[in-house]
Amino acid sequence: GIATLVMLISLVGGRIIPGFTANWLARERRGVKAPKAFGRFDGVVLAITGATLATWVADPDLAILPWASLAAGAAALVRLARWRGMATLREPLLWVLHLGYAWVAIGFILLAGVVPGLPASGALHALTGGAVGTMILAVMTRASLGHTGRRLAAGPVTTTIYLLVTLAAVLRVVAPLAGDLYTWVAILTAGGEIGRAHV
């Protein structure tokens, strides 16, 4: 199930993130180079992503999985860099989409086991609470504005939701590294999730 959601984020996100970003840049920041449109490179990244996810589902203990995960994470980061996310920092409704896809790359890199002391659950939390949670909020809030004819811009409450889900995901990923403070970090994570739900 998680692998399917990550693949959907990679596929659909690869269409809407650069598309929405290009439209906004053309309107708000003329002169800034447009994101790269979907092309052959994106197809290669999707193939690497799909193969890595299939390997993970088939046997998470395969010796090749860390290397495949590292390749998938690096490819996702390069793909993300081509979408001009840094140029969207003044519009939360856009940068949150880039952040959601960044969690895919982070999840793959963590799945490779590159952080000493961090269990495999860290990768799961990056992919679920990070990628899935962030992208659901990002698309849901944008769609609710667009389909009700309102201006496509995130207000303070919506921005707070984005920050809370990000905080919760970060804390959940790093919680195993907190040692004796693990319980407190887990409580803070839950607080971020509860706060997001109430906002």
Greater model confidence, 173 or 190: 173
Mean pLDDT of the chain: 88
Percentage of the chain beyond pLDDT 90 is 57
pLDDT confidence of residue 52: 97
- Render the burial of 78-101: b for 16+ CB within 10 Å, e for the rest: ebbeebbbebbeebbbbbbbbbbb
- pLDDT 10s digits, 31-59: 778 898 889 999 999 999 999 999 999 99
Average pLDDT over residues 94-99: 95
Spatial distance between the Cα atoms of 100 and 37, rounded to a whole number of angstroms:
19
Which DSSP category does 87 fall into?
G
Greater model confidence, 187 or 8: 8
